[in-house]
Structure 1
């Protein structure tokens, strides 16, 4: 039974790996430190929304055997609207992922530096972080091989490592279970925690995962009879990812008197309470979270660019490799020299804030087209859930854009 389950594991863990990056770790850390267990329910909401949208993306990929960006390109008949949609998607995903890649690699570096200290290489007059280069090389090798099965196994191993690391850290904090259950099932809204709730949902329901999932499922499954495996894979992986995020929040809630502004501070803050072991597990988890996202972000950008521009989505083609190499090299350079691309990241946040409602809306429209999906189009219940999530992500999009421009 276990062997059969592992055989049918698909892109789900890769989707989980993509949304649990250093940004998610940091957001969950701050949520736990500032609000304790009271925002765990926001992660439950995020998990439900992610499962609903990712299941749609997976179903579209298997039934149509096309990526989401390919379907968008083919279904928008108006030339001006098609060009506008392609520009928005390319801007948000390709440019956005280039900006976030530096954060992914930096997060993984933080995990290694907590274990081994800062390691710097001097090349001429330039100082480069050794760990940034090593992580870049590992990501390059896995992506260059271009074999989905090898990539899948490597990322699943890292996701399992990350999950155990954060789970053990949370257990070591010995949380109050009654307070945890209360935080899970009783929503807590206030003016102080609204932006944190938005951040928790926004860091879990991410646009590029919808593109990544639709593209990857057709690498794994070719038949509509495989939909049941894809659904199980999606649910298990997203729930696992959500549990990991909750474990980070629970761990952070144990810190009472320590100044925390990032995931690295969380490791330091746990040391006085639980010794080096908690810091060790957390550092391993942070490393795994960073390197998995550092691999999936360039991969997603390459799939999106290929679909939007009508290129082959074969992982071994020159154009496909050209896109992910561009994202990866920028990420390594920005991370290694400590460059913070604030303006690019702000642009990426605005573009993603606009893109998520647009992509969610388009996904719902496509999922109701019999011409594309036949009998596998959305049911009434799926549409109800889908439209409820669309309203939520529209609200999140407006809020994130206002936040970037300091209106809230």
Structure 2
């Protein structure tokens, strides 16, 4: 049997593409796991709200949040490459008991995130398929089961899934934004910082809180080992990886802001009642296809976030326990499965705390921004400036100046909104 030239060329093309993909995943991909974790339903709702309420004028906040997220991930990756994981650093500096208690307290925030994500996916499925009679609760539970199955597949599989989903999200939202006839000049002026009053500043901080995601600081320092990144030679690849991942995430967020500003704001929307409102509204202007694309993207983004967010406690607690637990796959799986199972109980939170799905989507990321982010940023800043851990690779003065910006913004978020967020969660939500 012989192959003609066309068949041979086709096979060679297929193998060439396969080799390119394999080479990409060998060098890159970790940043997409990080970006996918922050790109959930809360991020989409907040970005849509920014476009509806302020048009293009908060695009600067998206760019700033991406840059700050990049810098924080760079610190975390360098810690893992030259020193140790952030959780191990906490154990060595604070002691096993204190660090384990701290990791468990932080993990409550990850469970809270998962609660809003399972609620968002459940609600989205109901709306998308017209199953209001059934309600969203059963689909929240099923989402948790699916996340458990995918999350235990192993890093390589999850990385490939995350990369594929992020590029799909990028294509979907850029498509919607491009046909919405945005004002290019107004969008260009939106990269110049304008605070827009207290509400605008709070929304800008919310964008930061959903982009500079504190569980990623623990994850990146752990997962650099999965990529085989060790030593100074790995830093250029790590930084290119972060640049690619955060560029895709940033462009996707900008596309959502632009679509909301170009479609929803001119249509008379002043605020969004639910995280599904943008999709419904776009259907009236652009057609049903826009709603389907937007809602499917929202569901995919929310599900994507669950896995890396709940990986974080599994790594954190395992590392701080140390000893026989530090490298135990079984310990990791037990913590991960238990965490996701708790995060699937969003219907009970709805029932007993009176929080709606939209309450959870807004308040639980905000809780993490005012509790988890400041603690983790301070711990990370301490680690990358410790010569006993980093050797000759501690932060230089320029990196410390840039990284201090993240610490100051995190501190401001606590000062400006900490008490209000906690009170609102326990008093029936935003309408309570």
Match of 1:231 among 213, 232, 239: 239
Instruction: Give 1:215's aligned residue.
Output: 222
1:40 alignment counterpart: 59
Residues of 2 paired with 1:84 and 1:103: CA distance? 28
Asked if 1:274 corresponds to 2:291, the answer is no
Which residue does the alignment assign to 1:90?
Answer: 104
Shift in CA distance, 203/130, structure 1 to aligned 2, threshold 3 Å: same
Distance 2:349 2:193 in 1: 44
How far residue 352 of structure 1 moved from its aligned partner, in angstroms, is 4.9
In structure 2, C-alpha distance between the alignment counterparts of 1:356 and 1:248, rounded to whole Å? 24
2:128 to 100, 115, 130: 115
Q: Tell me the CA shift for residue 289 of structure 1.
A: 0.6
**Local SS of the residue matching 2:131:** coil
Is the Cα contact below 8 Å between 1:211 and 1:304 reproduced in 2? yes
Count of matched residue pairs: 394
* Aligned counterpart, 2:147: 139
Judge conservation of contact 2:369–2:413 (CA < 8 Å) in 1.
no
Separation of aligned partners in 1, 2:20 and 2:352: 44
Please list the CA deviations of residues 148-205 of structure 1 after superposition, one character each: whole Å capped at 9, or x if unmatched. Answer: 1111112222222222222212112121111111112343332331221121111211
In the TM superposition, what is the alpha-carbon distance from 1:351 to its structure 2 partner?
6.3
Q: Aligned pair 1:366/2:383, yes or no?
A: yes
Describe how 1:7-406 pairs up with structure 2 within 5 A.
7-64=26-83, 66-76=84-94, 83-92=97-106, 94-118=107-131, 129-145=137-153, 147-224=154-231, 225-253=233-261, 254-255=263-264, 256-258=267-269, 260-310=272-322, 312-314=325-327, 317-335=329-347, 338-339=350-351, 349-350=366-367, 352-404=369-421
CA contact (8 A) 2:140 2:346 kept: no
Please, which runs of 5 or more residues in structure 1 have no aligned partner? 122-126
- Asked whether the equivalents of residues 110 and 287 of structure 1 are also in contact (C-alpha less than 8 Å), the reply is no
Q: Is the 8 A contact 1:18 1:296 kept in 2?
A: yes
Structure 2 counterpart SS, 1:203: helix
Distance 1:330 1:362, change over 3 A: closer
Secondary structure at the aligned position of 1:398 is classed as: helix
Q: In structure 2, how many angstroms separate the alpha carbons of the residues matched to 1:138 and 1:63?
A: 35
Q: Which has the larger radius of gyration?
A: 2
> Separation in 2 of the partners of 1:59 and 1:403?
35
Provide closer, same or farther for how the CA distance between residues 175 and 116 of structure 1 changes in structure 2, counting only shifts above 3 A: same
Q: Write the distance in 2 (CA, Å) between the matches of 1:133 and 1:13.
A: 26
- The answer to whether the 8 A contact 1:46-1:204 is kept is yes
Distance 1:339 1:299, change over 3 A: farther
Aligned-pair distance for 1:209?
1.3
- Could you tell me the TM-score, scaled by structure 2's length? 0.83
What CA distance in whole angstroms lies between the structure 1 residues aligned with 2:118 and 2:179? 27
Q: 1:172 touches 1:278 (CA, 8 Å); kept in 2?
A: no
Q: Distance in 2 between matches of 1:274 and 1:350?
A: 35
SS of match in other structure, 1:263? coil
What's 1:124 paired with? none
CA–CA separation in structure 2 for the residues paired with 1:274 and 1:364: 46
TM-score, with normalisation over the residues of structure 1? 0.88
Cα 1:156–1:136 shift into 2, 3 Å: same
Query: Paired residue for 2:428?
Result: none
